[in-house]
Every structure is written in C-alpha cells, then in structure tokens.
Amino acid sequence: MLGKYSLTLAVAALLSGVAVLSPAVQAQDAAAVAAESPAAAPAATASPQPGGDDQDPTKITVKLLNLKNDIRRCTLIEERAVRLTCYDHISETLGYIDKDRMKKEKDTLQEIGFWQITRATSTMGEPQTTLRVESSNTIETSGMSARYVNLVIRCTPGKTEGFLDWKAPVTRPTQAERESGISVNYRYDASGITNEKWEVSTDMHAVFMPDAISFVRNIMNKKRLIIEIIPTNGTVQGVSFDIQGIEKAADEIVKDCYK
C-alpha cells in the first residue's frame, strides 16, 4: 500500500527534477506505513496488494513527471485560447472537469474567445448589452498599483460606445487633455499604428474612443490588439488584448441594439 510519505516524496521529486525514488527511500516509506498500520503484517510475510502498478511509487513519480511535461507543453503555446484549452484538457484527464463542461467551454472559446457578454438595464431604463475582454497584461495606475484593463464595447438601442476601463486613475490629465482628449495609439495584428484622441472620463478611470462602430469594424477577424495611452504628464502605458471571436461577440450588439 502506498503511504502518504511516498506521495509527498514523489511530489518533491517532481519539483526537484528527480526521476525516480531510490530503493532506500522506498524501504523507509514501507517501514513508515507498517508502523502506522496496526493490522499490517511484517514486511517479510506481507501479501502483494491488488493494483500494484497504481501503488508503485516509482510509477507514480513517472506519472507526475509526465504531468509536469504536459504543463510545460501548455505553457509554451503562444495563442491564449489554445493554451487555456490545453490546461483544461489536463484538468479533464485528472477528473477535475467533466467532458460535457470541457466541450461547452471549448466551443465557447472557439466562438467568442475571451469576450464576456452581459445584458442589463441602463440607468435610464434602456436595455444594454456589453462586450468585455480583459487585457493580457497589467498597467500601473497613478496610485502605483497594477491593474488589468478591460476593453469594453457597450450598446443601448441605436447607440454604441467603446472605452478602456481600469477602475482607477491611470493618469492625471492636463486641462488640454480634459478638453480635447488624451493621445492613444493602437494597432491590431500586423497593421500600421493609428493615433487618436480619446476622451477621459470625469473620474479618470476610463478613456472613450471617438467612433466605437468604426473601431469594432476595424478589429473584425483580428487576433491581437495593442493599445498605448500617451499622457502629456506621465509614462506611456501599453496593454495587449486577445480579441479573437469579436465577430460572433459583435453579432450580439447588432441583434440587441440595431434590430
């Protein structure tokens, strides 16, 4: 029977890169198990237990090493959605995610990627549909804290707006930036750089793009979006977004707000 000592040592071996448990360690573990089990027979007369392969500490260590290699292989995948599917497959193999849930999540990733779609009622009582995707990296706020940024596309009937939302001041805009907007560069995939003035919200927690509909049309069928905020007083801040699936996600905007 495999004791808790073998499993602990197997995990330790996995993390330290040791390939197998030594015979001496296995012998120590067998003695510890015998000491913990009052009904256990002396080692010399113990009968073999069923399912020996699953209880063999060497083979358990090899399985853990294979798991480590699988995780490493997932880590090397550059495309975020494919990388997440790889991790989910490991969870499914370990029994943490059932096959139906795995399939549903995989289908969702293939259709709308990492976009989240929510429906609510605006403060004016109008139906409101929101698309939201979180950045792949963080930016530093004016309070020196790191935050992920949300790219948000939101519509009410006949109107669409888009903005970056970081829920904390990223810069302290000058008077000119308050009046005419802050400078923003963005590019998608291998496109050229576009420079625009985006309006700073009154609480300085977000910047609004001048033409959300044109922006969404431009990023259709694209995979990656990079946006830089270029304040007059402050550091240039850049964020990256995985925008795959925007075509299907944007269909919800059209259906809900432009019937």
Each residue of 4-22: b (16+ CB within 10 Å) or e? ebbeebbeebbeeeeeebe
Contacts of 29 (CB under 8 A, 6+ apart): 3, 5, 6, 9, 21, 57
Q: Length of the chain in residues, anyone?
A: 259
Q: What is the mean pLDDT of residues 99-119?
A: 75
d(CA 113, CA 82): 10
Confidence of residue 194 (pLDDT cuts 50, 70, 90): very high
Instruction: Classify 247 as helix, strand or coil.
Output: helix
The token duo for 182 is: 């802050």
Q: Average pLDDT for residues 205-219, to the nearest whole number?
A: 96
Is residue 29 within 8 A of residue 5, CB to CB? The reply is yes
Rounded to an integer, the average pLDDT of 244-257 is 94
- Cβ-contact 239, 149 below 8 angstroms: yes
Query: Which residue from 198, 127, 125, 211 is spatially nearest to 161, judged by alpha carbons?
Result: 211
Model confidence band, residue 96 (pLDDT cutoffs 50, 70, 90): confident
Confidence of residue 170 (pLDDT cuts 50, 70, 90): confident
158 secondary structure, DSSP code: T
What's the CA gap between 102 and 61, in Å, rounded? 27
Domains (range + CATH), the chain? 4-111 (no CATH), 113-257 (2.60.40.1880)
Give the amino acid at 50.
P
Identify the pLDDT of residue 42: 41
Strand partners, 131: 117, 153
- 93-104: b or e for each residue (b if 16 or more CB lie within 10 Å)? eeeebeeeebee
* Whole-number pLDDT of residue 104: 62
The rounded radius of gyration (Å) of the Cα atoms in the chain is 27
Report d(CA 11, CA 18) in Å as an integer: 10
Q: Which residue has the tokens 């880590």?
A: 75
